A and B are shown apart, each in its own frame.
Chain A
Amino acid sequence: MEVTLKVRRFNPEQDEKPYFAEYTLKDVEPVDRVLDLLHHVKWYIDGTLALRRSCAHGICGSDAMRINGVNMLACKALVQNLIKGERGTIQVEPMYGLKVIKDLVVDMEPFFDHYRSVMPFLVNDTIPEGGRERLQTPEQRERFDEGTKCILCAACTTSCPSYWANGTYVGPAAIVQAHRFIFDSRDEAGADRLAVLSEENGVWRCRTIFNCTTACPREIPVTQLIAEVKGEIGRR
């Protein structure tokens, strides 16, 4: 296959504004991933290309980017799912809504600030019965299972038009993380998290657009989890 890889590039130290660089790659296998193509560009064509990736197997969440207009992990995006036929173009951009540091690398700090704001850790100061384990039934564990799959890649938050419009919105990923603890029977700080999320920049900025659900590489039903948090605030 022949693939034209269009990469949105920007080096703030050199460029006045971002531009698309095109790289023509020959002998691409249908099962190659977009990450393989980016590696090829960086290793053999232009070493100045900047991108993040760590595990390269869909676990670490480092290489989320906008591919053909949809947020996904470059390491999970197969060429055969993006191009039909023997040749075609794949467009790669950094995620929207976060400041570009260079090329495909964005500043993740605002994302992690929102993450921290919902207290993404178990809060429980009482000593469990017997002083050992905090027991939980399989049903209680199942209640928050979806949220545990999140890898904090930011694909959901940076696909959200509400987040693009206003970066003070806590964003889908932080709400998913809050959901994971709010519905955990062992946790005792649900009220505090719901208080944060009932603020103007909390869950109410979600307009049920579903981009987050489409973008999630872990197939978490993000919009549904946000709706469950809204419902929980509504019931109080």
Chain B
Amino acid sequence: MTTTTKSVSQRDNKFETFMWRYMRWSGVLLVPLVFGHFAIMHVINSVADISYEWVITQRWSFVGWRIYDAFLLWFAGIHGFNGLRIAINDYVHGESLNRVLNILAVVLMVIVLFVGTAALVLAPTTPVTLPTG
């Protein structure tokens, strides 16, 4: 009979513990955030009417909605990509492929959060008409 003894680290794995907590709290917060978003974008307003001008004039002209959307972006973004990381670690057992996919997931998450945050911060308060042609 073979016995494998795992090395016992003296410290707790703070990252995994933190992410577990993050998933729980962000999950709770995402319920009102997502339903609010859904109500505004799909129930109260029709997607047929929503345009760049509408977003700038009706929503993002008020900084509170930008903060609301920023919360949605960051909580949903990190929640979703951490879920992807967990799924990768559950199902991809090859060490090198696991690492490549994990790095890819982090890179994708950074891009999504960066582009979203840039849009929220840099979008003008009045619609800008882009030159045509």
Contact = CB atoms under 8 A, between A and B. Distances in A.
Interface string A182-202: 000000000010111011101
Contacts, number: 54
A196 B19 CA distance: 17
Given A113-B4, A117-B6, A166-B93, A194 B12 contact: yes
Nearest to A199: B13
Contacts of B129: none
Given A165-B90, A166-B91, A195 B17 contact: no
Interface string B1-29: 11111101111111011011100000000
Given A166-B90, A166-B91, A199 B2 contact: no
B80 to A, nearest CB: 16
A204 B12 contact: no
A138 interface: no
Given A116-B3, A162-B90, A200-B13, A195 B20 contact: no
Contact residues of B: prevailing secondary structure: loop
B9 A233 contact: no
Contacts of B117: none
B5 A116 contact: yes
B89 interface: yes
Interface string A81-110: 000000000000000000000000000010
Contacts of B4: 113, 116
A205 interface: yes
Residue among A119, A196, A204 with max Cβ neighbours from chain B (10 Å): A204
